[in-house]
Amino acid sequence: MSANPSLNPPVVPASAALLDDPGPARPTYVVRTLGCQMNVHDSEHMAGMLEGAGYVRASAEAEARDDADVVVINTCAVRENAATRLYGNLGQLASVKARRDGMQIAVGGCLAQKDREVIVEKAPWVDVVFGTHNLDALPVLLERARHNERAQVEIAESLQVFPSTLPTRRESVYAGWVSISVGCNNTCTFCIVPHLRGKERDRRPGQVLAEVEALVAQGAVEVTLLGQNVNSYGVEFGDRGAFAKLLRACGSVAGLERVRFTSPHPAAFTDDVIDAMAQTPNVMPQLHMPLQSGSDRVLRAMRRSYRSDRFLGILDRVRAAMPDAAITTDLIVGFPGETEEDFAETLRVVEASRFASAFTFQYSPRPGTPAATLPDQLPKDVVQERYERLTALQDRISAEESAAQVGRTVEVLVTDGTGRKDEVSRRVTGRAADNRLVHLALPATSPSLADPATDPRLADVVHPDVPRPGDLVTVTVTRSAPYHLVADSALDAGGTYAVRRTPAGDAWVARERARLGLGGDEHSHGAPAVAGAPVSLGMPVLRGR
């Protein structure tokens, strides 16, 4: 039993029979995620809830065949094609369900919160619809739908249980998401998120740090702090400087190598956050700062409470404090009423900003948002032409910024799976401190990673030149492309190449050994017995007597 029950609230199974069944055939599940990082993290909670209720994750092969007892689709409602993607998925699953007795389909997330019963009307083979505010209800709703033999639609209007109190099945053992807040208090005219996720609710710093420390204890070396607007964190409990303080506190967590966060809002971004980033060694020199438009007139129409000069001033101060920082952004093309002059302002600000990359979107009206009813909605061909000009500009800037990295020595956190290959080298893939994607070559004398049956990363004694996912490798960048770097320095005599083992690599080995039925690794240096198993962390919850 945990000494601190607030960190491990009880899990109530949806069906006792699922846990009491002594047979080997436990029900399987798949969670499909459509949307942003918040959706990805919500999907981890959904998986944790299902595993706590006795389900097991379907194998990759079974998932590819849609061969699972429960398929959960976690939806997004930000883009116009969200519904198209959902109903495309549901249409494909209809035939699978027709031939698979007992299969259940659940739809959650933002589009479920918005469309509710409409989903079951359009796709009557769906068993469960649940919203953003009641993730915890998923196992109970599945059991109820099974018992009642009819679809269950349950949409809470406000947050019932803070998501971070729920069990979590982490996708990665070396990097984890940590939610610091949910909801949003902004009123951007193009955005439906505040309507679907509600007003901002902040977790207390101690609860956030407890989750970070627990992740590190399990082997994670990288954490990303999540919120719809992270730099307004603390307003709810009366401390406007709380986010900068939280970043500094993360710097004191032993074993935590990398801290990232997403996403801030330019209107609330303050210099104390820049100082905390620059002065805290494990906070990475990377910033995602959504611009949306470079036109002040369009920003006013969007209700984005900053102007282009303020935005550029923030970037100048960030780069003065962290010269090597990589800055990325979000951009919307074709907002209602955008003129050619407005668009030219966006091109100007993008040129001046020197973004490493940009997520660029064509405006799509979302029913229920103020912008959807604005006059002067732009023709599709105009929006498409502007979009192509903007992406061409950003492609050029990204290529130039990447080329400036050639010759730099970087430390890369290796991720799962192998990287790009060519006739000369075998590569693995990872992220540099500034979050740039790096494909790095292994020394010619290192064993091959191509055959999973003889994976040298799982050997009792790992070859010193072979990095495991979660390990850190120091290399020199040898060439570039707009959106990735290549580091083949290991192929040169005396070239830069050094592997640094981490607890994250140990945790990855423990998880893979368990997955393959190879047993635990007695020499895993403190890795968890079953890495990647569901965990439950965060705020205390009320318990019934």
Annotated binding site for [4Fe-4S] cluster: 36, 76, 110, 184, 188, 191
Q: How many helices (H) and strands (E) does the chain have?
A: 16, 23
Tell me the chain's radius of gyration from C-alpha atoms: 24
CB 361 within 8 A of CB 79: yes
Residues paired with residue 485 on neighbouring β-strands, in sequence order: 438, 480
* Residue 51 DSSP SS3: helix
Residue of 151, 65, 138 lying closest to 100 (CA atoms): 65
User: Which residues carry a binding-site annotation?
Assistant: 36, 76, 110, 184, 188, 191
- Helix then strand then coil, % of the chain, to nearest 5: 35, 20, 45
Report the DSSP pairing between strands 427-431 and 437-441. antiparallel
CB 473 within 8 A of CB 499: yes
Question: Where are the alpha helices (H) located in 81-173, listed in sequence order?
Answer: 82-99, 110-115, 117-122, 138-148
The number of residues in the chain equals 545
Burial zone of 487 (CB within 10 Å; 0-12 exposed, 13-18 middle, 19+ buried):
buried
Residues paired with residue 515 on neighbouring β-strands, in sequence order: none
Cβ partners under 8 Å of residue 240, min gap 6? 234
DSSP 8-state symbol, 292: B
**What number of other Cβ atoms are within 10 A of residue 498's Cβ?**
14
* Residue 376 DSSP SS3: coil
Residue of 545, 456, 468, 477 lying closest to 501 (CA atoms): 468
Does the N-terminal peptide bond of residue 305 adopt cis geometry, omega within 30 degrees of 0?
Answer: no
Range 321-336 burial, b when 16+ CB lie within 10 A, else e: ebeebbbbbebbbbbb
* Residue 261 DSSP SS3: strand
- Whole-angstrom distance, CA of residue 448 vs CA of residue 105: 41
Residues paired with residue 358 on neighbouring β-strands, in sequence order: 329
Structure tokens given for 126 = 């769906």
- Whole-angstrom distance, CA of residue 532 vs CA of residue 183: 27
Residue of 172, 202, 200 lying closest to 187 (CA atoms): 200
CB 400 within 8 A of CB 392: no
- Whole-angstrom distance, CA of residue 300 vs CA of residue 285: 30
CB 34 within 8 A of CB 82: yes
- Whole-angstrom distance, CA of residue 73 vs CA of residue 201: 25
- Whole-angstrom distance, CA of residue 381 vs CA of residue 362: 11
